[in-house]
């Protein structure tokens, strides 16, 4: 790994490595503008195509998981082509490679899932056997719990591609993250928000995470000032649930923490990885974490409850990633 410039000879301009989808570019541009406004930095973008963007005919859980969306960006950080990578936090593996660190997390956008359909206003309006698109195992098991009669079909591609497939009539409805639709000015496509009481979000959903090299201590200190503390603690709790359970993309896991005054409520659920008709296991805990370590302890505690309620049996059914 190349060395980090000292504070006296740091580059006048910083570079953000980003995927080239419209949503990823929005996120990178948002971070660029924030760095300019808050820190006075000059920032340019380095657009890249990741393996996750290229492999669209197979589920992520079958071909390497969420790391497919970040590896090329990390390579750019490692060789110095960029100093910062901006990610949708729900796409970031629960354990970062050695030498990389999550520098900050910005204030969370809407964490909910969104119901998108040209003909049906909500899930309960769908006729029996209707076709719903999603490639998220988390969404699959929760949809099946609500409507076991539905046909849940894979849906890959960037946000615009998914919407196009819906508009072409390939699906009766699709489920997407509300945050992405809102960020791209597509809120009108949302027919209904799916509340967390009906569909628990993914760990980190709606939050933007900033990754850098761990040896860039000056950069880490500067970026830390941008962190939204309530979001930082919430997502640390959520991600700790997944990490404690193995952090596999093949795991139908949801984890969502939200603040009720000064108390953080963390809820999680786990489904069967290959048989979505099996009952979901749920667990929750509340606390007042003072730091990330305390928030992560909450996540570990919830993971232990999930394991004790039969989660180990579900985890044993995980298929190995190719």
Q: Are residues 308 and 282 in the same domain?
A: yes
Q: Is residue 131 part of a domain?
A: yes
Task: Report how far residue 276's alpha carbon sits from residue 144's, in angstroms, rounded to the nearest whole number.
Answer: 6
User: Does residue 160 carry a catalytic annotation?
Assistant: no
Question: Measuring CA to CA, how many Å separate 74 from each of 78, 214, 267, 275, 309?
Answer: 6, 12, 31, 34, 37
Q: Are residues 22 and 99 in the same domain?
A: yes
How would you label 192-224 residue by residue, b for 16+ Cβ within 10 Å and e otherwise? bebebeebbbbbbbbbbbbbbbbebeebbebbe
Tokens standing for residue 211: 């990754």
The answer to whether 20 touches 45, Cβ cutoff 8 Å, is no
User: For position 6, what pLDDT does the model report?
Assistant: 41
Residue 275 CB burial class (10 angstroms; 0-12, 13-18, ≥19)? exposed
Q: Are residues 98 and 47 in the same domain?
A: yes
Q: Are residues 82 and 117 in the same domain?
A: no
What CATH number is associated with residue 40?
3.40.190.10
CA 26 to mean position of chain CA atoms? 16
% helix, strand, coil for the chain, step of 5: 40, 20, 40
Q: Is residue 188 part of a domain?
A: yes
Report the C-alpha dihedral over residues 27, 18, 168, 192, rounded to 10 degrees: -30
Give the number of domains in the chain.
3
Q: Are residues 73 and 218 in the same domain?
A: yes
Q: Are residues 17 and 75 in the same domain?
A: yes
Residue 185 domain boundaries:
113-194
CA 90 to mean position of chain CA atoms? 1
Q: Are residues 218 and 102 in the same domain?
A: yes
Exactly one of 91, 110, 113, 267 is catalytic; which is it? Answer: 91
Q: Is residue 261 part of a domain?
A: yes
Q: Is residue 319 part of a domain?
A: no
pLDDT per position in the chain (322 positions), as tens?
444 444 444 545 899 999 999 999 999 999 999 999 999 999 999 999 765 555 444 444 454 455 566 888 999 999 999 999 999 999 898 999 999 999 999 999 999 999 999 999 999 999 999 999 998 999 999 999 999 999 999 998 889 999 999 999 999 999 999 999 999 999 999 999 999 999 999 999 999 999 999 999 999 999 999 999 999 999 999 999 999 998 877 899 999 999 999 999 999 999 998 898 889 999 999 999 999 999 999 999 999 999 999 999 999 888 655 4
Q: Are residues 81 and 210 in the same domain?
A: yes
Q: Are residues 135 and 180 in the same domain?
A: yes
User: For position 12, what pLDDT does the model report?
Assistant: 53
Predicted TM-score of the model (pTM): 0.88
* Pairing mode of beta strands 173-177, 131-133: parallel
* Pairing mode of beta strands 100-105, 131-133: unpaired
């Amino acid at each position: 790994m190349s060395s980090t410039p000292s504070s006296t000879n740091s580059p006048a301009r910083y570079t953000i490595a980003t995927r080239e989808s419209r949503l990823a570019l929005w996120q990178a541009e948002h971070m660029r503008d924030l760095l300019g406004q808050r820190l006075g930095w000059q920032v340019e973008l380095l657009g890249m195509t990741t393996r996750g963007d290229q492999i669209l005919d197979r589920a992520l859980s079958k071909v390497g998981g969420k790391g497919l969306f970040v590896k090329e960006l990390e390579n750019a950080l490692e060789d110095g082509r960029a100093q910062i990578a901006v990610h949708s936090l729900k796409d970031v593996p629960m354990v970062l490679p050695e030498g990389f660190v999550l520098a900050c997390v910005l204030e969370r956008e809407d964490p909910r899932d969104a119901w998108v359909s040209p003909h049906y206003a909500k899930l309960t309006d769908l006729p029996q056997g209707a076709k719903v698109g999603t490639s998220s195992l988390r969404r699959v098991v929760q949809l099946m719990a609500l409507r076991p009669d539905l046909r849940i079909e894979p849906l890959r591609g960037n946000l615009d591609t998914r919407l196009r497939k819906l508009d072409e009539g390939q699906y009766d409805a699709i489920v997407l993250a509300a945050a992405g639709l809102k960020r791209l000015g597509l809120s009108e496509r949302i027919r209904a928000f799916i509340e967390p009481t009906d569909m628990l979000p993914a760990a980190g959903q709606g939050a933007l995470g900033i990754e850098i090299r761990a040896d860039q201590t000056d950069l880490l200190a500067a970026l830390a000032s941008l962190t939204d503390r309530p979001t930082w603690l919430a997502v640390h709790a959520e991600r700790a649930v997944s990490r404690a359970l193995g952090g596999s993309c093949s795991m139908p896991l949801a984890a969502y923490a939200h603040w009720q005054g000064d108390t953080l409520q963390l809820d999680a659920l786990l489904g069967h990885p290959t048989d979505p008709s099996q009952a979901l296991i749920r667990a929750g805990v509340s606390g007042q974490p003072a730091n990330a370590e305390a928030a992560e302890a909450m996540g570990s505690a919830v993971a232990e409850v999930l394991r004790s309620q039969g989660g180990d049996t579900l985890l044993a059914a995980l298929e190995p990633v190719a």
